[in-house]
Structure 1
């Protein structure tokens, strides 16, 4: 791919702006040599304004999403994209979230510009579990685990029962719930169906991928080994 197109696709600016940046010597190799429009340099050896280039196409990011942020590029208020560099919104292909977390849910959120990888994660065939830590308004009654695991639980206004879900009780108002599907506000609606209310909700893991070393509001680029943990 030509250097100008590569930089534009990474969101650094328009092709015209990138031509100007190259002419001004802002794009160099690691040795500090200014490049030309037709230069051929490996992605990892490129610098823009003395900084390494953003990850190439096929990137997967893991964010520890804080409360109060919406998984959208256009809604009003604070958006998860506000926590990323501005140019990430301009990447081509688009950097999309893999699934969503509502405004009042925190925790593990994936982004990618790799459509094949996105569909692999959300495909029912992959059966990737999502694990949620839940703080409840009232003490658990004791029968919730059996109800959630039955495969017969119905949510209001739906006609298909939920897949079996695993509930691990931490104490009377704290639990960990593992789901293999992602219906609208599913965790909150499940507990509402058994007469309780979710006060706090955090997604702590996607498959075998947890939030190790990712502080709230921050993100990291996943290595191949970390991506593989999703499917473990």
Structure 2
């Protein structure tokens, strides 16, 4: 018997005895690898972990995937390395031990028009600045500070609570420039007094600069100030028996009204956000 005949008999014997095993995976016969990870129930209130991390401002989604794979992210105390893992907004997610906030931080500047309130608890039916930026974000963006209803100019909105807290009472102050219209001409002697510092509520108010507006009546002035005290300009001029008829904030921090018409808004640039986050 030849070697070939012997091999054919062995194969036939294997088929008859039921011991024949297919070893070709060409037609979909490859063994299926089943995941051992527990399946997550679909939840409309859950989001992918990489998006959660990216929204917190730590890094991009692509970088978040790298950190997840490396085991840097924990969910409710347990390291998660599974790609596509979903978390709930109520879960405790940490990056290298630091608790993350999944709400994407957004920043909008508005050139506020007259007759819009910035007070949160405003009377029903009154026009509020939030309506002017309603299309900017799905998040609730709040003004960092206030402008009176009749005032105009730059107003910053954000959902970044830490930044809002710092800007409301910065240690070194925040640069603001206003165009004011007074109820009467500002005499040179009073302008000089303001430059030197005026006592308001037993505390001297320091201004960086004040000057008359070019080619305008002397009741119009430009004033640069860093103070964050409430209604400080109104109180300052009241101290000298003047009333502010119009107030327009033309500079706020590093923001200006350039290319931003009254009633319009825009998102802050990445560099502008960085600049504000440097404020202590």
TM-score, structure 2 as length reference: 0.56
Work out the number of aligned pairs and report it: 179
Partner of 2:236: 190
SS at match of 1:184: coil
Q: Aligned-pair distance for 1:4?
A: 3.6
Partner of 2:142: 96
* Conservation of the 8 A alpha-carbon contact between 2:191 and 2:210: yes
Q: Aligned-pair distance for 1:195?
A: 2.5
* Conservation of the 8 A alpha-carbon contact between 2:168 and 2:228: no
SS at match of 1:143: helix
* Conservation of the 8 A alpha-carbon contact between 1:135 and 1:175: yes
Partner of 1:208: 254
Which of 1 and 2 has higher RCO (CA within 8 Å, sep 6+)?
A: 1
SS at match of 1:166: strand
- What are the equivalent positions in structure 2 for 1:10-159 lying under 5 Å apart? 57-76=104-123, 77-85=126-134, 91=139, 94-151=140-197, 153-155=198-200, 158-159=201-202
Task: Supply the distance in 2 between the matched residues of 1:96 and 1:189 (Cα, whole angstroms).
Answer: 25
SS at match of 1:72: coil
Q: Aligned-pair distance for 1:62?
A: 0.2
Backbone CA RMSD of aligned residues:
2.8
Q: Aligned-pair distance for 1:3?
A: 6.7
Q: Deviations over 1:125-161 (max 9, x none)?
A: 242111110112211210233222323x223xx2323
Partner of 1:176: 222
Task: Supply the distance in 2 between the matched residues of 1:69 and 1:82 (Cα, whole angstroms).
Answer: 9
* Conservation of the 8 A alpha-carbon contact between 1:73 and 1:81: no
Q: Aligned-pair distance for 1:57?
A: 1.5
* Conservation of the 8 A alpha-carbon contact between 1:59 and 1:113: yes
Task: Supply the distance in 2 between the matched residues of 1:222 and 1:187 (Cα, whole angstroms).
Answer: 27
Task: Supply the distance in 1 between the matched residues of 2:153 and 2:275 (Cα, whole angstroms).
Answer: 17
What are the ranges of 5 or more consecutive residues in structure 2 without an aligned counterpart?
Answer: 1-42, 48-83, 87-102
